[in-house]
Amino acid sequence: MVDDLLLLIISSPSGAGKTTLTRDLLVQFPDLTFSVSHTTRKPRANEQDGKDYHFIDRARFDALVAADAFVEWAEVHGNCYGTSAEEIERAKRDQRRGIVFDIDYQGARQIKAVRPDAVSVFVLPPSMDALKERLRGRASDDEATIERRFSNARREIEHYGLFDYVLVNDQLEQAKLRIRSIVVAERVRRPRMARQAEALLRQNRTLG
């Protein structure tokens, strides 16, 4: 079954640019919404609770897991992250055409297992040196955090085979065009257009 609501998963090793690309998609396609994850990670200086993440402590996170509130969750770089079922319900209630998940490969695998129609994109950096530079350039994490994220990058890239699309974020404008193209193409997949085609078939068949 392909739902009308496009479930779009974007993953990458930390620093490859998925937040940058996700922000661009949300500007380009105002009928998409962002899935706000829950996390036990501490907020960065520029992050807002309820907008970038729902920042919660470990006890609250464990309680949500026990209550079966998450469609997927995983431990990433030493913190817990999860997508609540409520985020998808919110997108439906607000009559959005799609929802974007910025989640890691473990989460992508879990969502694909229950929703094979979800579309997944893996973003690669142009090189490992460029990845290191971008992690440092973000200037929001300390050196130990950067080291940890960089040393996890190889394991994350090893999972590129789980994804439907793989793109390299080298020239930013080109990467933006590629990811926008994925959204445009996925929206006209036949199952997502079936409702519209069927509506035409129900309309008046006579000329006069």
Rule CB under 6 A: say whether 137 interacts with ligand ADP.
yes
Q: Is 41 in the site for ligand ADP (CB under 6 A)?
A: no
* Angle between helical axes of 143-157 and 128-137 (0-180°, round to 10): 140
Nearer to ligand ADP, 68 or 143 (CB): 143
Question: Measured from the CB of residue 15, what is the shortest distance to ligand ADP in angstroms?
Answer: 5
The 3-state DSSP class for residue 102 equals strand
Could you tell me the smallest distance in angstroms from the CB atom of residue 97 to ligand 5GP? 21
Is residue 120 part of the contact set for ligand 5GP (CB under 6 A)? no
What is the Cα–Cα distance from 11 to 23, expressed in whole angstroms?
14
What minimum distance in Å lies between the beta carbon of 48 and ligand ADP? 15
Distance in angstroms (rounded) separating the CA atoms of residues 198 and 201: 5
Interacting span for ligand ADP (CB under 6 A) from 10-18, 61-69, 93-101, 154-162: 10-18
CA distance 41 to 75: 10
Query: From CA 67, how far away is CA 139, in angstroms rounded?
Result: 36
Q: Is 84 in the site for ligand ADP (CB under 6 A)?
A: no
- In terms of CB distance, is 17 or 29 closer to ligand 5GP? 17
The one among 32, 98, 104, 153 contacting ligand 5GP by CB under 6 A: 104
Whole-number minimum distance, CB 186 to ligand ADP, in Å?
21
Please identify which residue in 20, 106, 145, 152 interacts with ligand ADP, judged by CB under 6 A: 20
Based on the shown chain and the rule CB under 6 A, indicate whether residue 169 belongs to the binding site for ligand 5GP. no
**Nearer residue to ligand 5GP within complex by CB, 76 or 100:** 76
Kindly state whether residue 169 participates in binding ligand ADP, applying the rule CB under 6 A. Answer: yes
The verdict on 74 binding ligand 5GP (CB under 6 A) reads yes
Amino acid identity of 123?
V
Q: Report what 178 binds from ligand ADP, ligand 5GP, none; CB cut-off 5-8 Å by kind.
A: none
User: What torsion do the CA atoms of 202, 7, 167, 107 make, to the nearest 10 degrees?
Assistant: -160
Q: What are phi and psi of 165, to 5 degrees?
A: -130, 145
Which residue, 183, 198, 194, is CA-closest to 7?
183
**CA distances, 122 to each of 21, 60, 169, 194, 195 (Å):** 11, 30, 10, 28, 29
**What distance lies between CA 138 and its chain's CA centroid?**
20
